[in-house]
Amino acid sequence: MFDKNKFASILKKILENYNNQSEFARNSNIGRAYISRILNMHLDTPPKPSTLQGIANASRGITTYTELLSVCGYLPFQLNDTTSTSPLDVKLAEVIFKDNIHQLDQYELSEADFSYLTELLVYRKYDSNTMESKLSDFASNHSEAKTLYSMLIKINDSINDALANLNKNGYLYPIPIYKNNKHIDLFLATDIVDYTNYNIPVDMSFNNFFALLIDTDKMFPLLDINDIAIIQKSDELENGQIVAVYSITKECYLIGKLFKYENIIELSYLNSKSERFIINDIKFLGKVIKAENQSAFK
- pLDDT tens across 117-140, in order? 999 999 987 766 689 999 999 999
Of the pLDDT bands very low, low, confident and very high (cuts 50, 70, 90), residue 298 is very low
pLDDT on residue 254: 95
pLDDT on residue 129: 67
pLDDT on residue 232: 96
Closest CA to 260 of 285, 235, 278, 281: 278
pLDDT on residue 17: 93
pLDDT on residue 35: 94
Question: Residue 174's CB: how many other CB atoms inside 10 A?
Answer: 23
Cis omega (within 30 of 0) for bond into 221: yes
Q: How far, in Å, CA of 190 to CA of 13, rounded?
A: 27
Q: Calculate the average pLDDT of the chain.
A: 86
CATH 2.10.109.10 location in the chain: 176-297
pLDDT on residue 118: 93
pLDDT on residue 151: 93
Read off the pLDDT of residues 149-171 as tens digits, 9 standing for 90 and up.
999 999 999 888 878 777 776 77
pLDDT at 191 over 70: yes
Q: How far, in Å, CA of 289 to CA of 283, rounded?
A: 18
> Does the domain formed by 4-71 have CATH 2.40.30.20?
no
Lowest-confidence region among 92-106, 138-152, 217-231: 92-106
What mean pLDDT comes out for the span 257-267? 95
| H or E stretch at 154 | helix 145-169
- How are strands ordered across the β-sheet holding 192-200? 192-200, 171-178, 209-213, 228-233, 282-292, 242-247, 252-261, 264-268, 275-278
pLDDT on residue 206: 81
Q: How far, in Å, CA of 126 to CA of 120, rounded?
A: 7
Give Cα separations from 141 to 95, 113, 132, 135 (angstroms).
26, 11, 15, 10
pLDDT on residue 149: 95
What mean pLDDT comes out for the span 209-230? 94
Lowest-confidence region among 40-54, 162-176, 237-251, 258-272: 162-176
Q: Percent of the chain at pLDDT above 90?
A: 52
Class of 176-297 per CATH?
Answer: mainly beta
Closest CA to 189 of 179, 197, 199, 198: 179
Q: How far, in Å, CA of 157 to CA of 103, rounded?
A: 15
Of the pLDDT bands very low, low, confident and very high (cuts 50, 70, 90), residue 297 is very low
Read off the pLDDT of residues 75-114 as tens digits, 9 standing for 90 and up.
655 544 444 556 777 877 887 888 788 889 888 899 999 9
Cα 53 from chain centroid?
13
Lowest-confidence region among 61-65, 220-224, 283-287: 61-65
pLDDT on residue 57: 85
What mean pLDDT comes out for the span 240-250? 95
CATH 1.10.260.40 location in the chain: 4-71
pLDDT on residue 96: 82
Of the pLDDT bands very low, low, confident and very high (cuts 50, 70, 90), residue 199 is confident
Read off the pLDDT of residues 47-63 as tens digits, 9 standing for 90 and up.
877 788 789 889 988 88
pLDDT on residue 82: 43
